[in-house]
Structure 1
Amino acid sequence: MHSTGKRFFYMFSSDAQPPSRRRALASIAGAAVAGSALMSGGPRAFADSGSAEPAAEAARGGLPLTVVNSSGKFSNHAIHLYIVGSKGDRQVRLTRRGTLAPVKLSDNHAGGFTDYAIPLAARGATRLRLPRISGRIYVALGHKLKFKAVRGADGRIGLQQPAGWVKSDPNYPVLHDFVEFTHDAAGMHCNTTMVDMFSVPMMIDLNGAKNHSTGRLRAGGRAQVFHALRNHPDFSRLVIGNRRIIAPSHGLDAGLFPQHYFDHYIDKVWQTYRDTNLVVRTNAGTFTGRVRDHRLTFSGPAQVSFAKPSTRDVLFCDGALAAPNDGTTGPVAAALGAGFNRSTLLSHHKQPTTHASAFYGTAVTNHYAKAIHAATTNGKAYGFAFDDVADWASYIEDPRPQHVHLTLTPF
């Protein structure tokens, strides 16, 4: 799938495999403030959707959004919806009245938190309109979420968002999840994401120039994922009761996942490509690499080079595998990150591998991503940050969107 140039948040590309969600919305992991994730007020994180004021945007109608509760476990009155994001350099949120409002410090009330909850309709579907912003749609089941408006170091007002993988976060006890989107002049771009955690089963339908759907789990899929990881010795501590499964990247930082899990595999990759070429194909051309002076160095349209990554680099697709938006290093880094997580770098000397039958075939692999992909009806999921390599992410987009549906599917 070719990138539109603005997939969502700050990922822009013309790579062979469009750059992944990676740190969408700051990927929340690296921006922890007081145990919560800070959505920065700076302009870098989101696609620009024009200079119109929020009220004017709301007045233009926005994209129809229908939210359907088919969870089979929670009634509508027990579910709370939050739509928060960014418009230009301003943090905004959708109000209960359907208007777009800026995030303000004065929104913090009892307990020091905001109440941005949008209740679902008493029965049946809930119908809203989605303005042109980039952000997240959160759902909280049973209890409300605690968002906090804060002033950042740059003086701008930002929003501390839930970080369900951080035990000290006030939202840790709450069953919740989110989808990510950018609605802009180029269309609607959205995904169901499990890059940070796996919790509430949800799917998105997007109608426009074509009809698109993603995120649906197989019958019993949620329980299947929980069972698979609860019974894996290295991944079992990531399972937090029946509430969520923390991604191994965050689990590593929390002391719940082995810090050196991928190290032996990484060493074998570095040993293998001392004497063998690793070929990576991208839109920019074909890159051919070997390990020289402890670095995996590629020649081709440009010379790009990578230090040996750590297990943490592999899981976060960052550090030595960071992917700048340069059209050369970025797409090669994405292919390497996917190859490590899918454990295909030793079995396939040409990357990226594209057939799912080749993925996750070794004992040391990203079993979290493997289990989630196995539980989806179309095999697509966002189990790690470069999971859109070869179009295996639960991401959809349309240049002429007419309607988007968010469905909470059965547990």
Structure 2
Amino acid sequence: MVSRRGFLGLTAAALALPAIPAAAATPAAFTLNLANNTGSGTVFAYVTGTAPDGRLILLDSGGAPYYPASPATDLTPLPVDCAIAVGSGRQVSVPKMAGARIYLVTDAKLDFFLNRGPALVHPSFLNSGDPNFAKNWSFAEFTFNDAQLFANISYVDFVGLPLGLGLTTSSSGTQSVPGLPSGSVDAVSSGLGAQGGNWAQLVQTGSDGRPLRVLSAQHKADQFAGYLDGYIDQVWQKYSSATLTVDSQNPAVGTFTGKVSGDVLTFDNGESFGKPVTADVWSCDSGPFAIPQGASDARKAIVPRLAAALNRTTLLDNTNQPTGEDPARFYQNAETNHYARIVHGKLPDNRGYAFPYDDVTPGQDFSGSVFAGDPLTLTVTVSATH
């Protein structure tokens, strides 16, 4: 399979396994089937991404492709209604687009804006002044190009309105990711509250006082300063004498060995990593885990595996990453990514991104993705928050 980061074009690829080649070019469009299990008759969907020619693309309320023009000023309200009323169910045709999202919202429409370019201003779950902040929404991600349709459920940023995915194809079978069930915002909130410490601070409440969404710890990193220091210190101490092996899982890239000297983890290919802090682990994309433009394929492979093992707190026990990983050992340290632990514990099949490199695996899929070169229908099912 191909990683979420690589296929969606968000950041450097995790280089997990080679992409599955399509037997033939993908169709010009796939059917998006929107299923409403919320109990609310007021559900809207929005579909947006980047067209093959680089233009911003959305579907309008009728399901037709819409290419916004650049506005005269930033934060111009989207001039076309792109709220697709789901009702008891709705189907629309989706053309090729990359880095795309399917937003779902209950009980109200979302407010989208355009900046010059044009660039779409997406809803914010961090800015309390954003008109969408207090609304109940979530999204699934996808990219649809000439190779395949790749879609996934993501909890990298937050847990909110529960979504599930199903994919039917013309000849390669069906796939599904159930996602979090109804009521999961309450369940995850309760789990974090029981964990104690600053974990309960990840819960955002709505105007009714009930949990609205639960943020990933990376968005409250300042409240976790020093949280993983003890564990990271133990890891760095261990590999000052022991040898760490990291398999890129790509024969063209290879396997690397590394040891710590002077607080720097250096591999036999010359790639080196300073000691990360907790915020680097939560984000997977700062400090030694930032991947600069022009980085080697080796670094692009090592970073995800180090970051994943630190989020799962398995790096101290397993010197062979990720080949020797045992999912039963994930998140067992007292100080670990308890957000990811609790989210995965609520997932019926343990599948869904709870941190950016959650697709790193010795074999079993944890990422919550569906993909095929012959897609027909992608079903997104939205369930109740409480």
TM range (shorter): 0.7 to 0.9
Q: Which residue in 1 is equivalent to 2:228?
A: 262
User: How do residues 182-331 of structure 1 correspond to structure 2 at under 5 angstroms?
Assistant: 182-208=143-169, 209-218=172-181, 220-232=183-195, 233-241=197-205, 242-252=211-221, 255=222, 257-282=223-248, 283=250, 284-299=253-268, 302-319=269-286, 320-323=288-291, 326-331=296-301
Residue 341 of structure 1 pairs with residue 311 of structure 2: yes
Name the amino acid aligned to 1:395: S
Residue 386 of structure 1 pairs with residue 357 of structure 2: yes
Residue 221 of structure 1 contacts residue 376 of structure 1 at CA under 8 Å; is this kept in 2? no
Residue 141 of structure 1 pairs with residue 106 of structure 2: yes
Q: Following TM superposition, by how much is the alpha carbon of 1:13 offset from its aligned partner in structure 2, in angstroms?
A: 4.5
SS in 1 for 2:190: helix
SS in 1 for 2:339: helix
Q: Following TM superposition, by how much is the alpha carbon of 1:107 offset from its aligned partner in structure 2, in angstroms?
A: 10
Residue 161 of structure 2 contacts residue 384 of structure 2 at CA under 8 Å; is this kept in 1? no
Q: Following TM superposition, by how much is the alpha carbon of 1:166 offset from its aligned partner in structure 2, in angstroms?
A: 2.9
SS in 2 for 1:7: helix
Name the amino acid aligned to 1:378: D
Residue 93 of structure 1 contacts residue 101 of structure 1 at CA under 8 Å; is this kept in 2? yes
Q: Which residue in 1 is equivalent to 2:60?
A: 95
Deviates more, 1:395-404 or 1:321-330: 321-330
Residue 36 of structure 2 contacts residue 86 of structure 2 at CA under 8 Å; is this kept in 1? no
Residue 200 of structure 1 contacts residue 408 of structure 1 at CA under 8 Å; is this kept in 2? yes
Residue 17 of structure 1 contacts residue 389 of structure 1 at CA under 8 Å; is this kept in 2? no
SS in 2 for 1:243: strand
Q: Following TM superposition, by how much is the alpha carbon of 1:18 offset from its aligned partner in structure 2, in angstroms?
A: 7.5
- Tell me the alpha carbon deviations over residues 179-202 of structure 1, each in whole angstroms, 9 at most, x when there is no partner: 110011111101111111110110
Q: Distance in 2 between matches of 1:67 and 1:107?
A: 34
User: How do residues 393-408 of structure 1 correspond to structure 2 at under 5 angstroms?
Assistant: 393-408=367-382
SS in 2 for 1:66: strand
Name the amino acid aligned to 2:228: F
Residue 140 of structure 1 contacts residue 176 of structure 1 at CA under 8 Å; is this kept in 2? yes
Name the amino acid aligned to 1:330: K
- Tell me the alpha carbon deviations over residues 295-342 of structure 1, each in whole angstroms, 9 at most, x when there is no partner: 11111xx32111111211111101211246642111111000000100
Structure 1: tracts of 5 or more residues without a match? 20-49, 51-59
Q: Cα–Cα, structure 1 residues 290 and 328, in superposed 2: closer, same or farther, change >3 Å?
A: same
Residue 217 of structure 2 contacts residue 339 of structure 2 at CA under 8 Å; is this kept in 1? yes
Size of the aligned set, in residue pairs, is 359
Q: Distance in 2 between matches of 1:102 and 1:345?
A: 47
Q: Following TM superposition, by how much is the alpha carbon of 1:245 offset from its aligned partner in structure 2, in angstroms?
A: 0.5
Q: Distance in 2 between matches of 1:82 and 1:187?
A: 21
Name the amino acid aligned to 1:213: S
Deviates more, 1:240-249 or 1:228-237: 228-237
Q: Distance in 1 between matches of 2:260 and 2:18?
A: 26
Q: Following TM superposition, by how much is the alpha carbon of 1:16 offset from its aligned partner in structure 2, in angstroms?
A: 3.5
Q: Distance in 1 between matches of 2:189 and 2:73?
A: 36
SS in 2 for 1:167: coil
Residue 65 of structure 1 contacts residue 406 of structure 1 at CA under 8 Å; is this kept in 2? yes
- Tell me the alpha carbon deviations over residues 352-392 of structure 1, each in whole angstroms, 9 at most, x when there is no partner: 15432010001111011111111111111110001110131
Structure 2: tracts of 5 or more residues without a match? 20-24, 206-210
Name the amino acid aligned to 2:289: L
Q: Which residue in 1 is equivalent to 2:84?
A: 119
Residue 49 of structure 2 contacts residue 58 of structure 2 at CA under 8 Å; is this kept in 1? yes
Residue 350 of structure 1 pairs with residue 320 of structure 2: yes
- Tell me the alpha carbon deviations over residues 165-222 of structure 1, each in whole angstroms, 9 at most, x when there is no partner: 3333332111111111001111110111111111011001011122111142356544
SS in 1 for 2:236: helix
Residue 43 of structure 2 contacts residue 86 of structure 2 at CA under 8 Å; is this kept in 1? no
User: How do residues 363-382 of structure 1 correspond to structure 2 at under 5 angstroms?
Assistant: 363-382=334-353
Q: Cα–Cα, structure 1 residues 240 and 6, in superposed 2: closer, same or farther, change >3 Å?
A: closer
Residue 65 of structure 1 pairs with residue 29 of structure 2: no
Q: Distance in 1 between matches of 2:335 and 2:179?
A: 27
Q: Distance in 1 between matches of 2:327 and 2:81?
A: 40
- Tell me the alpha carbon deviations over residues 247-304 of structure 1, each in whole angstroms, 9 at most, x when there is no partner: 110122xx5x3222222222221111111111111222221111123211111xx321
Name the amino acid aligned to 1:329: R
Q: Which residue in 1 is equivalent to 2:125?
A: 164
Residue 44 of structure 2 contacts residue 86 of structure 2 at CA under 8 Å; is this kept in 1? no
Name the amino acid aligned to 2:30: L
Q: Following TM superposition, by how much is the alpha carbon of 1:399 offset from its aligned partner in structure 2, in angstroms?
A: 1.1
Name the amino acid aligned to 1:161: H
Deviates more, 1:258-267 or 1:327-336: 258-267
